[in-house]
Amino acid sequence: MSKNIKIHEVGFRDGLQNEKVVIPTELKIRWIERILNSNVDIIQLGSFVNKEKVPQMADTDILFKHFKSNDYKVLFSALALNEKGADMAVESGADVICLGASASNTHSLKNTGMNTSDAVSRIINIARMLTNEGKKVQVSVQSAFGCGFEGSISEEHVLNIAKKYIENGLINISLADTAGHAYPEQVTRLFSAIKSFDENTVLTSHFHNTYGLGIANCYAAMNAGAEYFETAFGGLGGCPFTKVAAGNVSTEDFVHSLNRNNVRKDIKLESFFELSKECSDFLEKTMQSYVLNVGQISY
């Protein structure tokens, strides 16, 4: 197992975006403060998207203004889907700007109003502009492992999108399992293939735990060369524009599993337990985190 594993906490974006109760900004700030010194590598503060479609993200600019006014060791990221969102992310001072296009036409149309081909071209143009300005950019293929609306997604189709990214100098690539359909052998094939296109690619995995294979998929991605892992505190999450919105891999569960092999023991799990418990109380729901609910293995 590689010890060069980076954790990208996406709970404040992907974790909360599908919650019906809009979280007050002051409470989000308190929750984010819970894990500022937890030693995770990146915290995604939110997304610059349509506020009417995703009201939970309406205060993303406020969160950036609050946290970027201080000098924290952690990097702050944001998601954008078009030029306006990217401009807002730049203005906010986001350290990492995440851009994505879906391999599923149906999901793409629901999420962005564009078909896959148009979305990919648009994302590439935005990403190239940002990288030329010296910004750190991550590009993703959403619904890379299957779609709740369309079912199976051609692996060749996914790899062709990744090739287009690489051909345009975009080598920080994420594969996102938006519908939670991924299984380990498929994960291995796709991540290994992208790594074979260009060994300098920096690979990120983003798995939902819809069918209980989230952590298994993380390890398959890790063994195929992925370095960054997007997870959410408490296992919260789900895309509002997919058919079945299920939670992300729990940050606590994944880090706890790494700890069993003496990897990323610098990350303070207690910070995530406190955050997840407080969030659970506020939302009045049980978190989808095994280690939170049953406790850590102590030996």
Whether 299 is in a domain gets the answer no
- Alpha-carbon separation of residue 55 from 19, 43, 94, 225, 298 (angstroms): 10, 20, 20, 36, 41
CATH no. for residue 50?
A: 3.20.20.70
CB 168 within 8 A of CB 121: no
Whether 242 is in a domain gets the answer yes
Question: In this model, does residue 58 exceed pLDDT 90?
Answer: yes
**113-162 pLDDT, tens digit each:** 888 999 899 999 999 999 999 999 999 999 999 988 888 999 999 999 99
- Alpha-carbon separation of residue 41 from 57, 109, 173, 264 (angstroms): 22, 32, 17, 11
Whether 66 is in a domain gets the answer yes
CB 10 within 8 A of CB 248: yes
Mean pLDDT of the chain: 92
Whether 150 is in a domain gets the answer yes
Whether 1 is in a domain gets the answer no
Task: Work out how many domains the chain is built from and give that number.
Answer: 1
Q: CA-CA distance, 259 to 186, in Å (whole number)?
A: 26
**241-268 pLDDT, tens digit each:** 444 456 899 999 999 999 999 999 999 9
Query: b/e string for 232-241 if b means 16 or more Cβ within 10 A?
Result: bbbbbbbbeb
**191-211 pLDDT, tens digit each:** 999 999 999 999 999 999 989
CB 170 within 8 A of CB 139: yes
Q: Which two tokens stand for residue 16?
A: 């909360």
Which residue range is the domain that position 113 belongs to?
Answer: 6-294
pTM of the model: 0.94
User: How high is the pLDDT of residue 248?
Assistant: 93
Whether 208 is in a domain gets the answer yes
